[in-house]
Structure 1
Amino acid sequence: MFHFFKKKTHKKLEINLHNNSMIINGTSLSFPLSLKDIEAILGKPDQVVKKENKFIKYIYDNAGIVFEHSFSIKNHLKKSKTYIDEEHLISTVFLYYGDVVKSMTGEKELPKQPCQAVVLSDGKSPYFFSDRHRVGDFNLILWTPYGTNFNGIAETITDTLSISYFPEIKNERESYKLKETDEEVLHFENINFKLAIIQVLMYDLEVLKPVFNIFDFAEEFSELDIDTESMEIIQPALDHFEKLQIPKEYAQHVQEIYMDGGNEIYLNLIPQWDGEDETFDLNEVGVEELRQFPNLEEATIMSSNFKQVKAVFDEAGIDVELL
C-alpha cells in the first residue's frame, strides 16, 4: 500500500485537473496556491528548500511530489489578473514517477520516494502530444528521456511530470506589420541574446508592444501557412524578431535576464519545444551588446559555452550564472 503522509491518509492520491483547480482526492485547490492551502490537505512538507529571489520548494518525500513557489511568476499572474498576494505564488508541481527518483534538469531538490499518484485531465487520462498537454490553465510536460517523445493517452506515467499553472493573458489584437522608427534603436549581433531581451521587454514588463502571439501572427499572415504546433523553429516568426527594431530608450528597463525553457518567447518560436536542446543557448554575446543596458545587473542563462560567455559578462560588470 502506498503511504502518502502518515498523519493525513494512507489512501493513494488521485489528482484531477480542471480549469484553474487541482482536485486532490476530492478536495479542490485553486491556483495560485499558498503553503497553507497545501498543508490543509497534505500536512507539512518533509523538506523546504529556498533559493533567494528564485524559488521555494516544498517537498513531500513519501509522495514523490514537489510544489514550487516561484518569484518569477508574479508578473505573469498580475498581467493575467490572477495575482492574490506574496503568499500565493505556488504555480508548479513536480511529480517524480519511475522506479527511482531521477532529476530532470540537474536539480538537487528531490523527494526520497517515487510518485504513485493517478493524474487525470477533466476526469480522464491526459492525452499528450510530443510530451505536452494543456487543460484549463495548466501546462503539463512529460520529461521523457532526451531524444524521445510521448504521444497518446497516458494511463500509466513513468516519467517525471510537471504541472504548471499558466493562465492566458488576454491582449487586444494589434497588427504585427513592422514599422520603421526614427528613434535610436538597440543593436544586436547575436539573435539569442536579442530574444532574451525581448522576453524581458515584451513578456515580463510589456513595454515592447504588440505582445507577440504565434496564433495571432499565423492568422494575420495566413499566406505563410504557419504550423502552430511546430516542433521546429517557425522561420517567419524568427524573421519577425530579427527585423524587429527596439527603441534604445527601453534599455533602461532591463535589470535582469532569466532564460528558461518555458519562456514565452521560445514557445512562440517553437510551440512544441521541450526545452531540452541547445536551440536558444546563449553561446556568444559581445561586450558592446551588453553595455547597451546600463541597469542590467544579473543574468541567468542557458549556455553550452558558459565559460567564454561568462568572461564577457564579467568584463561588462554583470553577474551571470548558468540555469
Structure 2
Amino acid sequence: MTMIKLDISQNNFTINDTSLNFPIEIEVLDKILLANKRTVKKKHNIIYTWDDLGILAYSKNGQVVESLLLELKKGDFDFSSKDIFKGQFYFDNEEVITYYKTNKDKRVKLFDGDSNGALVLNNISVWFDSDKNNMEAIEIAAFKGVSIQKIPKDKYTIKEVNEELIEFSDFGFKLSIIQELMYTKEILEPKFDLFEFVIWYTKRDIDLEKEGYEPIPEVTQYFKDLPIPKKFATEITEIYQDGGNEIYMQLLRFGEGWEGYWDIENAKDAKHFPNLKKAILCYAKENVLNELNDMGIKSEWI
C-alpha cells in the first residue's frame, strides 16, 4: 500500500508530490491514491471512501470533490473508513497537528461557534474536528472566507403564526418533515444552525464540547415548539431519513448516526401530507414501515 503524504505550503498543495487545486477530479485522486475505494450515494452528495487509507472525499456531482476528510478515529457511518489515516501531513513545512497545537493564534474560525478553528494557507482551509483535545478528523477544502455574522436578537424566538398549523402527535415524524422543509427544500425559516443557536441563547451558557454527546434540552424544545404551517403540507412528497441528515446533526453535536432519540413511534402524522408517496427510514420503530405501506406510501429501510 502506498504511503500517503499531504503537503500544504505557501504556494502549493500536493498529495504524493502531485499538485492539486479544489475541486479535484475523482480520476486524478484515484491515480494518486492507488487504492480501492467505495462509493456511497446520499441524497445530496456522493461520498468516496478509501478504506485502507482512512481518506474520504465529498462530491456534489460525482465528477469532482469539494473536500477531503482524513479520519483519525473510526466512525460508525456506512461511509466511514475501515481504517484510520496513517500517512503524513505537513502544513508550512511542519507536521500539521503539531503546527495546529503550537500556533493557536493562527487558527481561523470558519463559522459561528467554531470552537476548534482551522489553519488557512494558500487559499486552503484545514479544519480540525477534535473532542477533548483528541483529534477525530481533519477536513481539507478550499477556503471560502469567514462566515461569522451578527445574529439578530429574535432569530430563534418562536413567534405566533396567524395561519393554520400542522398538529403533530409524533416528534420523530415532525423532525423528518423539518428535514425536508428546512434543509432539503429550504422553505421553512430560519434555517437552524446549532453553533449559531448556542451563541444566540442567553438564558444559560451551553458548552457544546461537554454537552454535545446528548441531546441539548433547549435545542430539542426549540424543534418541539417550532410551528409548521399547513400551507407546506403539499410540498412533502417523500421522507428520507439518514444518520447524516442535517436535522440530526443539529440536534446532536457528536452524533454517530445510530442513536434512537428520534425514532418515529407511529405513522399517524402521515395523514397531514396528501402527496407523501415514499419513505426511506432509519429512525423508526418496526411497526412504522408496515403502517406507511398500508397507507399506500412506499416505504423501506435505508
Q: Which TM-score tier does this pair reach, normalised by the shorter chain?
A: 0.5 to 0.7
Coordinate RMSD, CA, aligned: 4.3
In structure 2, the residue matched to 1:196 is: 176
1:125 aligns with 2:97: yes
Q: Does 1:38 align with 2:29?
A: yes
Whether 2:299 is the aligned partner of 1:320: answer yes
Structure 2 stretches of 5 or more lacking a match?
102-114, 120-124
Distance in 2, Cα, partners of 1:247 & 1:262 = 26
Q: Residues 96 and 256 of structure 1: is their aligned pair in 2 closer, same or farther, counting only changes over 3 Å?
A: farther
Match for residue 281 of structure 2?
301
User: Could you tell me whether the CA contact under 8 Å between 1:125 and 1:153 is conserved in 2?
Assistant: no
In structure 2, distance between residues paired with 1:223 and 1:53: 37
Q: Distance in 1 between the 2:277 and 2:141 partners?
A: 29
Deviation of 1:263 after TM superposition, in Å, equals 2.8
Counterparts of 1:56 and 1:263 in 2: how far apart (Å)? 14
Provide closer, same or farther for how the CA distance between residues 66 and 185 of structure 1 changes in structure 2, counting only shifts above 3 A: same
Q: In 2, are the aligned partners of 1:214 and 1:228 still within 8 Å (CA)? A: no
Q: Specify which of 5, 26, 49 is matched with residue 14 of structure 1.
A: 5
Q: What is the CA-CA distance between 1:290 and the residue it aligns to?
A: 1.4
Counterpart for residue 133 of structure 2 = 152
CA shift for structure 1 position 38: 1.2
Q: How far apart, CA to CA, are the structure 2 residues paired with 1:277 and 1:311?
A: 22
- Decide whether aligned partners of structure 1 residues 319 and 60 sit closer, same or farther in structure 2, where only a CA change above 3 A counts: same
Q: Does 1:285 align with 2:285?
A: no
Indicate whether 1:274 and 2:256 are aligned: yes
Q: Is the 8 A contact 1:57 1:66 kept in 2?
A: no
Q: Which runs of 5+ in 1 are unaligned?
A: 5-11, 75-84, 143-149
Distance 1:243 1:272, change over 3 A: same
Alignment partners' CA distance in 1, 2:148 and 2:180: 18
Q: 1:162-221 deviations in whole A, cap 9, x for unaligned?
A: 858698878884421111122121221111221221122112221111111233333333
Identity rate of aligned residues, in percent?
A: 27
Residue 54 of structure 1 deviates from its aligned partner by 7.7
Structure 1 residues 220 and 194, CA, compared in 2 at 3 Å: closer, same or farther?
A: same
Q: What letter is aligned with 1:124?
A: V
Closer, same or farther: CA 56–117 of 1 in aligned 2, 3 Å? same
Instruction: State the partner residue of 1:87.
Output: 63
Deviation at 1:242, TM superposition (A): 0.8
Residue number in structure 1 paired with 2:110? none
Aligned length: 273
Q: Which amino acid aligns with 2:270?
A: L
Residue by residue over 1:207-241, the C-alpha shift from the partner in whole angstroms, topping out at 9 and shown as x without a partner, is 11111123333333312332333222221221111
Return the alpha-carbon distance in structure 1 between the equivalents of residues 66 and 53 of structure 2.
Answer: 17
Partners of 1:121 and 1:301 in 2: CA distance: 42
TM-score (norm 2): 0.68
* Shift of residue 138, structure 1, vs aligned partner: 6.6
Cα 1:24–1:237 change in 2 (3 A) is: same
Measured after TM superposition, the shift of residue 319 of structure 1 is 2.7
Query: Hey, what's the Cα distance between the residues in 2 that align with 1:41 and 1:254?
Result: 43
2:128/2:139 contact within 8 Å kept: yes
Change (3 A) 1:315 1:121: farther
* Alignment partner, residue 104 of structure 2: none
